Structure 1
Amino acid sequence: METFRKLKVFYYPFRRDFFLSLFFLLLLTCMTVMYPIILQQTIDEVMISGRYEFIPWIAGGFFLIMLLKGAATYGHQYLGDMFGIRTVFHLRNKLYEKLQILSFKYYDNAKTGDLMSRLTADVEGFRFFLSFGFAELLRFFLLIGISLVVMFYYSAPLTLITVAALPFLAAAVYRFDKRVHPAFRGIRKSFGELNTKVQENISGIQTVKSLSREDFQTSRFSDSNEDYKEKNMQTANVWSTYFPLMEFIGNLTVIALLFYGGYLVIQGNLRPGELVAFFSLVWYILWPIMNLGFVINLFSQSKASGERLLEVLEADEEISDVKCQEKLIKGHVAFRHVSLSYSEGNEEALHDISFEAVSGQTIGLIGATGSGKTSITQLLSRFYEPSAGTIMIDGKDIKEYSLHTLRSSIGVVLQESFLFSSSIKANIAYGRPEAPMEDIISAAKIAKAHDFIMKLPDGYDTLLGERGMGLSGGQKQRIAIARSICINPSILILDDATSAVDMKTEMNIQEGFRHMLNNSTTFIVAHRISSLKHADQILFIKDGRVAERGTHDELLRKKGAYKRIYDLQYKDHVMQKNAAGQVL
């Protein structure tokens, strides 16, 4: 019950619905037990005694009880469903909110399909037990308790025979629960992996088709589907083993009662109607006990789902937020002996990084793939925390800024631009929804996106497909650049942001930056020297360390690694120009 105790905060506020549902359940159970009592009276007091004039009264009583039972059933089911629905409404919102808070480190190891499974299948599994399973568990105790009281009234010896069978049924149910819970946890995990395979394949369908790997992806999905099938088969095997056993124990009890109960009737120690009523009550006990396996099944599914939900809710947020007075960030950035390790025991991604960028300056970051360029910019946005050192903005540790203040002052454009399934206007204004149309158009013009947007059928109101489908890579990048410009950032991070545009467009975009964002501190991460040669300071990053630093001209004079890259890229440029001249 530890899982349900931890999740209590979500369902306890709606306890009123739960307890009202229990009240109607109590009425429903009492009226259910009335059936055998009325049946006993009909047989013994009417049929055997010949008092047939009471039959209309008994029929009317039955009708009244059915009406009351129907009303009680409605109240019980409606309020029970409301209890579960309201609970998971807040639970799902909290889960989604938690996913927004979790750091990049969590998503480095998380699988999208598995997270989707938790927010859908696992939440519904938990809801179903709250709405139905928990009530069935309480019905079990109420029905057995009330039925035993009536059975003792009719015949204590027969009741003792019934009670003697209960420990055997309880033992079978206990063993069933021990085996079925791990089985259902395996099913939930396998279902999450299956969702991940589907999500990955759909997201990467262009890559799959371009490399003709449809058969390989089908095989991967088939393996995951096979594992999911096997997990379900194992659970089915548990069911098929224990349910017949529980039914067998129940049937043996009925045979014993039939034998001994018939003997008592023959001896005159039990009336026929009482025996019939007793057998009805026996099934009111045996059926819930045998059905307890189904309830335990729901409980195990719900517990397994709850455990997976708690894994998300209790995940370490790592990036701590603070509540502080909103303060305008100017953009003076200083790294002081900063190091970064993504996890304990791993090699450092950054080591002893120190530099300073005055507000309005442009810092260029260049180096081989995996050298740590992007890691520096991710630390600046607090996507990760440094393992050593301090990062200052305007003379203040970035940890002293609220995440909202910090990140809303930083515009980030990544190499792989992500656009939402919405209009172009909404995508550009995503970080500043209240932005007037003039600012949106201005940002698009700086990013050199305005012209191609106006050629689209609906201009800025053109709806984009998933992840910006329908636009070229360069067009998506320019819209992403416009989105970052639109928030008027104090700090702008361009992480290979112009890699998908031609050099002429890149130069035009940079010209726009110099005219419109000269008050922003800009970090340019690039492989092309042409993207950052105008930077006020260039850092050449190698193996997580600053290997060289200076302006473009200073680095060329040092004749180090930066100069070698420049020579290679310039040589390629000269060769391309010569080749073009020969063609002409």
Structure 2
Amino acid sequence: MQARWTGQLLLIRSEAGTPGESSSFDFTWFIPAIVKYRKLLGEVMLVSFVLQIFSLITPLFFQVVMDKVLVHHGLTTLDVIAIGLAGVMLFESALSGLRTYVFAHTASRIDVELGSKLFRHLITLPLSYFQARRVGDSVARVRELENIRNFLTGNAITLLLDVLFSVVFIAVMFYYSGWLTLIVLLSLPLYILVSVLITPVLRKRLNDSFARGAENQAFLVETVNGIDTLKSMAVEPQAIRKWDNQLAGYVAAGFKTQNLSTIANESVSLIGKLVTVATLWFGARLV
């Protein structure tokens, strides 16, 4: 070995990286960061739950005013109720501000961690990944991750809280009237039907809109990067024509998506209004 050794040492490492770096990059990639701050997010949910409880207090105050104060002209009772309601509102405002601060601070920490992790993941990808894709495609997908982070740290928590607190609302409604609660419960299949009919088509149109947006992003980035070549070959009119066509397709796809979203929102709104009418009609007949 000493006779053949030239004195040079070659260091070789695998480009695959660690198992964590080579794992699939999907929705579950965000979960560890969320789990890491589960305690703070749990505190935010707890405060939000308390605020939801406070939202029930205001209509109860109005009920007391209508049933007790106005009927019996109890001005002293009105003063007590007004002071109590003002105190509840002050405490609710302070608690809401505290929740917003804690949530914004936690979301910022999650964003920093996910952003750093994303960049490390992007850098460790093999060269073949970037050679097979345009720069604009990668940039567009990185920007779309902002929406995922916002959903996980915002809408997802709100959705979970709404689902949990809907049970409390239904219980309160059932306490007042089982028949009126039944009207609300009977409307739930209609909401589910709208979701089943709209969601598949909306998902398809959103994917098409994203694909066209990524294509526009890629074309814009590549055009700016290669502006010297483009001008030297005097192909500006062709580039403008291609951009106009792609932009028109992207706007049309976004318009179709917005129309479908409007149909879904208005359908849900119509169901809610019909439920309100039915509740008022049956409620008036039950009095």
TM-score tier after normalising by the smaller chain length: 0.7 to 0.9
TM-score normalised according to structure 1 size: 0.43
Deviation at 1:134, TM superposition (A): 1.4
Deviation at 1:109, TM superposition (A): 0.6
Residues of 1 paired with 2:139 and 2:100: CA distance? Answer: 29
CA RMSD of aligned residues (A): 1.9
Q: Is it true that 1:255 corresponds to 2:277 in the alignment?
A: yes
Aligned to 1:528: none
Residues of 2 paired with 1:3 and 1:71: CA distance? Answer: 38
Q: Could you say if the C-alpha distance between residues 86 and 189 of structure 1 is closer, same or farther in structure 2, counting changes exceeding 3 Å?
A: farther
Deviation at 1:151, TM superposition (A): 1.1
Aligned to 1:579: none
- 1:59-458 alignment runs, 5 A limit: 59-119=82-142, 121-265=143-287
Task: Say whether the 8 Å CA contact 1:118–1:192 is kept in structure 2.
Answer: yes
Is the helix fraction higher in 1 or 2?
2
Q: Could you say if the C-alpha distance between residues 222 and 248 of structure 1 is closer, same or farther in structure 2, counting changes exceeding 3 Å?
A: same
Aligned to 2:75: 52
Q: Is it true that 1:5 corresponds to 2:13 in the alignment?
A: no
Residues of 1 paired with 2:199 and 2:131: CA distance? Answer: 35
Q: Could you say if the C-alpha distance between residues 96 and 3 of structure 1 is closer, same or farther in structure 2, counting changes exceeding 3 Å?
A: closer
In structure 1, runs of 5+ residues without a counterpart are 266-584
Deviation at 1:18, TM superposition (A): 0.9
Task: Say whether the 8 Å CA contact 1:165–1:249 is kept in structure 2.
Answer: yes
Q: Tell me which amino acid in the other structure corresponds to 1:43.
A: M
Is the strand fraction higher in 1 or 2?
1
Residues of 1 paired with 2:43 and 2:260: CA distance? Answer: 35
Residues of 1 paired with 2:270 and 2:132: CA distance? Answer: 48
Residues of 2 paired with 1:77 and 1:117: CA distance? Answer: 29
Task: Say whether the 8 Å CA contact 1:190–1:227 is kept in structure 2.
Answer: yes
- CA distances 1:362-391 after superposition (whole Å, capped 9, x unpaired): xxxxxxxxxxxxxxxxxxxxxxxxxxxxxx
Aligned to 1:36: 59
Q: Tell me which amino acid in the other structure corresponds to 1:28.
A: L
Task: Say whether the 8 Å CA contact 1:81–1:131 is kept in structure 2.
Answer: no
- CA distances 1:206-227 after superposition (whole Å, capped 9, x unpaired): 1111222111111122222122
Deviation at 1:188, TM superposition (A): 2.5
Q: Tell me which amino acid in the other structure corresponds to 1:264.
A: L
Q: Could you say if the C-alpha distance between residues 231 and 139 of structure 1 is closer, same or farther in structure 2, counting changes exceeding 3 Å?
A: same
TM-score normalised according to structure 2 size: 0.85
Q: Could you say if the C-alpha distance between residues 37 and 151 of structure 1 is closer, same or farther in structure 2, counting changes exceeding 3 Å?
A: same
Aligned length: 263
Residues of 2 paired with 1:69 and 1:177: CA distance? Answer: 36
Q: Could you say if the C-alpha distance between residues 78 and 178 of structure 1 is closer, same or farther in structure 2, counting changes exceeding 3 Å?
A: farther
Residues of 1 paired with 2:55 and 2:215: CA distance? Answer: 45
Report which stretch shifted further, 145-154 or 134-143: 134-143
Instruction: Please identify the structure whose Cα radius of gyration is greater.
Output: 1
Residues of 2 paired with 1:57 and 1:130: CA distance? Answer: 42
Deviation at 1:193, TM superposition (A): 1.5
Task: Say whether the 8 Å CA contact 1:15–1:83 is kept in structure 2.
Answer: no
Deviation at 1:153, TM superposition (A): 1.2
Deviation at 1:3, TM superposition (A): 5.2
1:27 is aligned, of 30, 38, 50, to 50
Residues of 2 paired with 1:104 and 1:210: CA distance? Answer: 29
In structure 2, runs of 5+ residues without a counterpart are 1-24
Residues of 1 paired with 2:245 and 2:81: CA distance? Answer: 62
- CA distances 1:171-215 after superposition (whole Å, capped 9, x unpaired): 213333333223223322222211111111111111111222111
- CA distances 1:86-140 after superposition (whole Å, capped 9, x unpaired): 2232222222212222222111111111111222x21210122123211320232
Task: Say whether the 8 Å CA contact 1:113–1:196 is kept in structure 2.
Answer: yes
Residues of 2 paired with 1:179 and 1:85: CA distance? Answer: 34
Identity %: 24
